[in-house]
Amino acid sequence: MPEHTPEHTPDYTSDSAFETSLEALVTRLRPLSNVLITTHVRPDGDALGTVKTMSIVLSHLGIKHDILLLSKMPTKHQFLFQDMSVSVMQVLEKMPITTADMSRYDGLLVVDTGTWSQLPGLKDLIEGSGERWTGTRLVLDHHLTQEDWADVKLVRTSAAAAGEIAAAVAKHVGVPMTHRLAEAIYVALVSDTGWFQFSNTTPATMRLAAELMETGVDTDAMYQRLYQNERPQRLLMQQCAMQSMQLLADNRLGVMTLTRADFSSTKSGVPDTDGLVNLPLQIGTVAISALFVEPPEGGAVRVSLRSKGQVSVATFAEQFGGGGHARAAGLKIEGTIDDVRTRVVDALLKTLQETT
Ligand SMILES: [Mn+2]
């Protein structure tokens, strides 16, 4: 017997408060006739898997809908949408729809985020000049940082992935568990749990994953598709990140920096940096890691933060207008990469000093 049995978060899907919020979301969803589904900028596997899951749910309910992605969809996730009769609009250079186009929709469903800062351009679209959009605003999310602009929010921070909550919605409304639905939910789960390694993985997550495997998800093919399918640029960026790594505060803080020069010498884009922030956490002493990215197209410096749990990086990020989860958060600051790094690293050192 293990000496220590970790306390797992109780399964929120079986608590009655969750059932009530879920019911509230579904009640507001059912009468809608045309919904715009969207998710956070730079959508990851959870964002896209959840969008796809909710698209299947809406189709099952007979609700017309379109999908709006605020950044280009990563190639490795495109298979999720290959069968689609639903239109997937993407922001490539500019917003593909206008405020006037919003009048087509009587509902907006935002998944895997609850904050405008993660939805660039969307606030203008629905709260911008002229006629204010009056449709129903729904949020399905699992992030700690939330704002108060939705009519109904279904948020559970103990959910490993937004896709886990979407799976509960699908079950609630009686969507048959097809192969496509199972794949979408599986992509969401593995993306946010680091293939079931991170602390957010619960027994409920594993039970759901087991159910998905039973419906025939080819997990080996999925692993290769998602994790062994990178462009060379990604590993070249990893090389740059590792070369830039500094260990501070008695090796408790790992800091990496990617500059515009790194992007041009490796011919990489911002998506090639996803997940690199986790690298310093491989070091035993590292409690927090930070990745500073100077976007090749200009604009604010992006800072990704990860923690092993002693320090909430979501709380830390809030002082700079960012947010996220206790163990994974981010923020954006205008300024030169050096200035931003100095400011944020100073604040991180201070935070670490207060945490012994
Ligand atoms: Mn997520």
Which residues neighbour 178 within 8 Å (Cβ) at sequence distance 6 or greater? Answer: 56, 215
Expressed in angstroms and rounded, the spacing between residue 202 Cα and the centre of ligand 1 is: 15
Distance 10 CA to ligand 1 centre (A): 19
Span 12-31, pLDDT tens digits: 888 899 999 999 999 999 99
Mean pLDDT of 71-88: 91
**Averaged over 290-296, what is the pLDDT?**
97
C-alpha of residue 237 to centroid of ligand 1, in Å:
24
Q: Are 293 and 282 in contact (CB under 8 A)?
A: no
Any idea where the domains of the chain sit in the sequence? 12-227, 232-354
> Under CATH, which number does the domain 12-227 receive?
3.90.1640.10
Tell me the CA–centroid distance for residue 38 and ligand 1, in Å.
13
Q: Encode pLDDT of 86-130 as tens digits.
A: 999 999 989 999 998 999 999 999 999 999 999 999 999 988 766
159 CA to middle of ligand 1, Å? 9
pLDDT at 5: 53
Q: Residues 328-333: contacts with CB within 8 Å, 24+ apart?
A: 328/304, 329/304, 329/305, 330/302, 330/303, 330/304, 330/305, 331/302, 331/303, 331/305, 332/117, 332/300, 332/301, 332/302, 332/303, 333/300, 333/301, 333/303
> How far apart are the CA of 50 and the centre of ligand 1, in A?
9
- The rounded Å distance from CA 142 to ligand 1 centre is 7
Gap from CA of 324 to ligand 1 centroid (Å): 10
* Residue 118 Cα to ligand 1 middle (Å): 12
Q: 58-67 pLDDT, tens per residue?
A: 999 999 999 9
From CA 129, how far away is CA 112, in angstroms rounded? 26
Give me 208's structure tokens. Answer: 């759901």
The pLDDT assigned to 8 comes to 59
Q: How confident is the model at residue 69 (pLDDT cuts 50, 70, 90)?
A: very high
Say if domain 232-354 classifies as CATH 1.10.8.10: no
| Of residues 241, 95, 111, the one with CA closest to residue 169 | 111
| Residue 47 Cα to ligand 1 middle (Å) | 6
Distance from residue 46's CA to the centre of ligand 1 (Å): 5
Q: State the alpha helices, DSSP H only, in 144-246.
A: 162-172, 179-193, 203-214, 219-227, 232-244
2 alpha carbon to ligand 1 midpoint, in Å?
A: 31
pLDDT score recorded for residue 274:
87
- Ligand 1 center from residue 146 Cα (angstroms): 13
Ligand 1 centroid vs 180 CA: distance in angstroms? Answer: 19
Centre of ligand 1 from the C-alpha of residue 1, in Å:
34
Q: What is the pTM of this model?
A: 0.82
Q: If you measure from the C-alpha of residue 314 to the centroid of ligand 1, how many angstroms do you get, rounded to a whole number?
A: 14
Ligand 1 centroid vs 113 CA: distance in angstroms?
A: 8
Residue 307 pLDDT > 50 = yes
To the nearest whole number, what is the mean pLDDT of the chain? 94
Cα separation of 186 and 222, whole Å? Answer: 9
Instruction: Tell me the C-alpha distance between 214 and 208, whole Å.
Output: 10
> Ligand 1: distance of its center to the CA of 216 in Å?
23
Ligand 1 midpoint to CA 40 (Å): 9
Does the pLDDT value for residue 356 go beyond 80?
Answer: no
Task: Give per-residue pLDDT as tens, 184-226.
Answer: 999 999 999 999 999 999 999 999 999 999 999 999 999 999 9
